[in-house]
Amino acid sequence: MIKKLYNVAVVGATGAVGQEMVKTLEQRNFPVNNLIPLASARSAGAEVEFAGDKWTVEELTPTSFANVDIALFSAGAARSKDYAPAAVESGAVVVDNSSAFRMDPEVPLVVPEVNAHAIALHKGIIANPNCSTIQMVVALKPLHDAARIKRIVVSTYQSVSGAGSQAIHELGDQTRALLNFQDYAPKKFPWQIAFNCIPHIDSFTESGYTKEELKMIHETRKIMEDDSIQVSPTTVRVPVFYGHGEAVNVEFEEPMSPEAARELLRAAPGVEVVDDPASNQYPMAITAAGKDAVYVGRIRKDESVEHGLNLWIVSDNIRKGAALNAVQIAEKLIEE
């Protein structure tokens, strides 16, 4: 039987997530016929490597999607709002990594390990959730199915790569400057990020929460298909290049012991349990960088409530938190 091949566009192909999408398509042997790398006029003419060949980046326009089957978007909400409808009109299915469509009731918000069934409901666009939400729900879904989650309190430790290539360069350049006793004025972040933590990701709202924190609240409920789950997040940027950490406190309706949680998580798709504190074994950013899994450790009882657990969750935000999740959605899509 001949395997069907697909014409795949990657919008934002020269950015950090777009490059990772191209790499992930190749590593997972996605059945690509033609790759169409797209970016702004500034990046048009550059080349990306895929499957042993070099592919020229084309300028993104409304007519870029002729004969495209699947379009992976990683160019930000404004670009997605402008060009995703054009891609759908041309006959492509869009998997969008931005925040543009995530809370649209007509658009499925999908983490394949959690709610792959929602893909079938798409009307041309499927949304990829926020990176910090993705890793949390991958770990919490099997626990929710077993004991029903009432409340989540999460504090994130998010790497600079979540803010893009400029942020990665800023951390590196700023660190070198400070170690050489030189000044380096912040450009991407409001404050120095080297040797510092900034409790501020995205803009603040009137409620005092940032948009990043509100994403974790609303996206978690939509993906888990349960509006009763209470979520209290605090998101923090830390001086790490790749990999988000999350300290997650969960209160359940039913009993959930640490032993039962470990057993459920070991069997859960996309999860790896690293939990042996006596041997200093627990997830770290360096554990997750470049890897596909969501790593969970420090699983322990919360003694302050009747049915509570604390967990430490780490994943590569560019990989599972963006590119891999999008490609996994595309894989499920073609299975349909």
Catalytic residue ranges: 131, 244
Q: How far apart are CA 324 and CA 291, in angstroms?
A: 10
Q: How far apart are CA 270 and CA 306, in angstroms?
A: 29
Of the candidates 238, 221, 223, 233, the one whose C-alpha atom is nearest the C-alpha of residue 284 is 238
Q: How many residues does the structure list for the chain? A: 336
* Contacts (Cβ under 8 Å, ≥6 apart) of 278: none
> In 3-state terms, what secondary structure has residue 142?
helix
CB 218 within 8 A of CB 229: no
Mode of pairing for the β-strands spanning 32-39 and 47-50: unpaired
User: 10 Å Cβ neighbour count for 52?
Assistant: 6
* Contacts (Cβ under 8 Å, ≥6 apart) of 281: 274, 275, 297
Q: Dihedral through CA 329, CA 101, CA 215, CA 256, nearest 10?
A: -40
Copy the structure tokens of residue 154: 């999460």
Q: Dihedral through CA 226, CA 227, CA 231, CA 233, nearest 10?
A: 100
CB 11 within 8 A of CB 75: yes
DSSP code string of 275-334: -BGGGTB---HHHHTT--SEEEEEEEE-TTSSSEEEEEEEE-TTIIIIIHHHHHHHHHHH
Copy the structure tokens of residue 180: 């050489």
